Amino acid sequence: MQASSRWFIAATIFLSMLLVVMPLPQQWLWFRPAFPALLIIFWVSRMPQSLGVGFAWLVGILEDLVTGASLGTHALALAVLAYFSLLTYQRTRVFNPAQQLLWVFVLVGINQVVGNWVHGLEGKTVPGLTFLWPALTTALLWPCVTPPLRGLCNRLHIR
């Protein structure tokens, strides 16, 4: 990986952290897309040789520090997410947009389930399947974010 690619990836991660803490009205908080998860899926599928579980784990630790969650919460969830993305990136590349959308929903859903499990350990209970809302919004965001991001990567020769 080139230094410029590293900087670009770091910049996208920084941006996603900003979006994570962006103030939203209380009733919209559940619908905030999981931006770091989306980026992990994108980067791991794009550079499976150099980015993997460890990268995702570090991003997760950063997210834990930024959001003030218990250390390890997001790290574990994102590492699991990266692992599943690595297992399937060859197939997802040939998926049509609808299939991709569905697959992102499943992946981020897994991410949310792990997060919810940790929340459960902490004694924070969530009513029903509310915790899956971010998976849905992230999946809906996927087709809007990835083509421009991919275009930008190609133009900047990020590989």
> How far apart are the C-alpha atoms of 24 and 103, rounded to whole Å?
27
Q: Which is nearer to another protein, 24 or 152 (CB)?
A: 24
Out of 4, 6, 7, 67, which residue is the one contacting another protein (CB under 8 A)?
67
Q: Which of 39, 80, 135, 139 binds another protein (CB under 8 A)?
A: 80
Q: Dihedral sign, CA of 56, 62, 67, 71?
A: positive
Name the token pair of 63.
């997210």
> Residue from 9, 38, 39, 79 that binds another protein (CB under 8 A)?
79
**CA angle in degrees (0–180, nearest 5) for 74-79-83:** 150
Q: Which of 1, 11, 71, 140 binds another protein (CB under 8 A)?
A: 71
Q: Least distance from C-beta 126 to another protein, angstroms?
A: 7
- How many angstroms separate the CA atoms of 37 and 157, rounded? 23
Judge contact between 64 and 36, C-beta under 8 A.
Answer: no
State which of positions 103-142 bind another protein (CB under 8 A).
118-119, 121-124, 126
Residue 104 burial (10 A CB sphere; 0-12, 13-18, 19+): buried
| Range 24-63, binding another protein (CB under 8 A) | 24, 26, 29-30, 32, 48-49, 52-54, 57, 60
Q: Which residues bind another protein (CB under 8 A)?
A: 17-18, 20-24, 26, 29-30, 32, 48-49, 52-54, 57, 60, 65-73, 75-76, 79-80, 83, 86-87, 90, 118-119, 121-124, 126
